[in-house]
Amino acid sequence: MFKKEVAGRLLDSYLKQVFKDGFFHADPHPGNIFVFEDGKLCFHDFGMMGHLSPEMRENLADWFLAFLDRDIDGVADVYLRIGIVGEEFNRQAFKKNMGDFIEEYYNIPLKEFSLASIMEKSIKIGRAHGISVPSDLLLLGKAFMTVEPIVRELNPDFNLVESMQPYAVTIIKNRLSPSKIAKEGMKFLLDLQRVFREAPKAFEVILHNARESKGELRLKHEKLEDLENHIDRSSNRLAFAIVVASIIIGTSSIAQHHIGPSIWGFSALGIVGYSLAGILGLRLIWAIIKAGRL
């Protein structure tokens, strides 16, 4: 019983380091882990540590849940977000190889899943297609190759998926929280403001360089009217997107502070705001799809 308790504490501690703290011990071999008589753990020798940004943790959670759902497109898309793709990359061939790999786990019980093995094989497939991954992700795979055998030796019945799922689901829920949406929306608006603020200066520099240049610049344009219409449509869509983002930010703030009447525990104003933003967003997406420029 004591061994199973230590195995559970070790796994929970490590999953917390990875998914919650984003800062993990990258060399957790038995000599670097002390177990006290009361079952408490003590990691030491922090010469090799790994760091995972919030974005990387979200990608790992997406990748893990997509793998559990046998979602080939989801697994491939997340891996491409994480990795660095080379020049000669065949997306269809990559997805086929990744799909063949995922199919190997169709009939394997969840308790027999090995994250270390899955990460190792995924990285090998990625390398075969010219995709490299961040070094911290390689450290994570190496660390799990060390942790998993220790936990299995202490508790042969342990279920890695069962332990990891709550951490992954919590990350996804936090991403969809009103405060997170408001924060991301505000960041988007600030970035947009910076672009508009710096654009005149950038154009001024371009014009100055053009005036000072001794070279000769010749321009030939065709169908300038089409370009003008395209710019006009793009400007309208950008303004529309800003309005939708503003509605989402304002609604998130209202929902977070429970302003106004409530319906089944949810802010009525928040429901109306999110519904309006959803309708406007779908209209914008439909307009883009209809124009054939998604």
Beta bridge partners of 131: 85
The contacts of residue 109 (CB under 8 Å, 6+ apart) are none
Q: Which residues pair with 262 in a beta bridge?
A: 267
DSSP state of 291: T
Residue with tokens 């000669």: 88
E strand spans, the chain: 23-25, 33-35, 41-43, 49-51, 84-85, 131-132, 262-263, 266-267
The answer to whether 260 touches 267, Cβ cutoff 8 Å, is yes
Q: Is 69 a catalytic residue?
A: no
158 contacts: CB under 8 Å, gap ≥ 6: 4, 7, 8, 11, 111, 151, 152
> Which is the catalytic residue, given 12, 21, 27, 71?
27
104 burial type by CB count under 10 A (0-12 exposed, 13-18 middle, 19+ buried):
exposed
Residues noted as catalytic: 27
